[in-house]
Amino acid sequence: MSKLGFIGLGIMGTPMAGHLISAGHEVALHSRSGVPAVLTDAGGKACANAREVAQQADVIFLIVPDTPHVEAVLFGTDGVAAGLSPGKTVVDMSSISPIATKDFARRINELGCEYLDAPVSGGQVGARNAALSIMVGGSQASFDKVRPLFELMGKNITLVGGNGDGQTAKVANQIIVALNIEAVGEALLFAAKAGADPAKVREALMGGFASSKILEVHGERMIRRTFDPGFRIELHQKDLNLALANARELGVALPNTATAQQLFNACVAHGGSGWDHSAMVRALEMLANFEVG
């Protein structure tokens, strides 16, 4: 049994922390919105702040929405850094700036502790089913130490490189996901407008080269009109902002990523910041004045 900490208990963090508790680990918990009873009932221990979590744990996981939130959790008043002692490991599973991640890692390393950036892909379903893809940046030794814990939360676990490289992989992942959502939305909208049954078209495409996880999961969402998150549009917007900002620094053009971001922006303008990101199709539907489902 290991002494672990978990900070950030939203739709992703709650099931992820639950898997650690179910495996028999002692888990200290904190979340800005409060610790869910399902975790304390299972044996998790609620803490007053992130500092208290860090004091009680040898490995501290966090998953919060954006770069400023990670910085506040790590280095703010009663943050993780205030409760660390040499030899502990901090694992950030949020999706944030690769550049900021390198700075956060340096500051944690200066305290005699290890740092892994380990963003995830797979959404709420992957978190609930312990089937997340986990993209890790950090040292081989730290990765090897934490890997058995990653395996309680995910299936495809890859050490990409040094600190920041996990976040870079996640940004790349979010580019691919956004463009696939856009492609599936266009295809199903085209099929429906042409008079075909989009559900049957999706079924046919699932057996061919156009098959994808996005077509399988989000194509069904588009047809059934089930746009409760999932993964909120506002969070995917944040990830694409990271992609576009870093691309600008690198001198790389990402034209279709920019288009996908504009479609998300249109959804937000219609009150959709909290919609599942599959609802990008709604922006396409507004342009066509026609709905898929």
- Catalytic positions, please? 170
What's 276's DSSP letter? B
Structure tokens at 130: 């312990």
Radius of gyration of the chain (CA): 20
Longest Cα separation, the chain:
65
Q: How many Cβ atoms are within 10 Å of 43's Cβ, its own excluded?
A: 12
- The Cα–Cα gap between 272 and 229 comes to 11
- The Cα–Cα gap between 128 and 236 comes to 20
Q: Which residues contact 162 (CB under 8 A, 6 or more apart)?
A: 137, 138, 139
The Cα-based distances of 173 to 15, 56, 113, 181 in angstroms read: 22, 34, 28, 12
- The Cα–Cα gap between 238 and 82 comes to 28
Q: Which residues contact 46 (CB under 8 A, 6 or more apart)?
A: 29, 30, 35, 40
- One-letter amino acid at 128 equals R
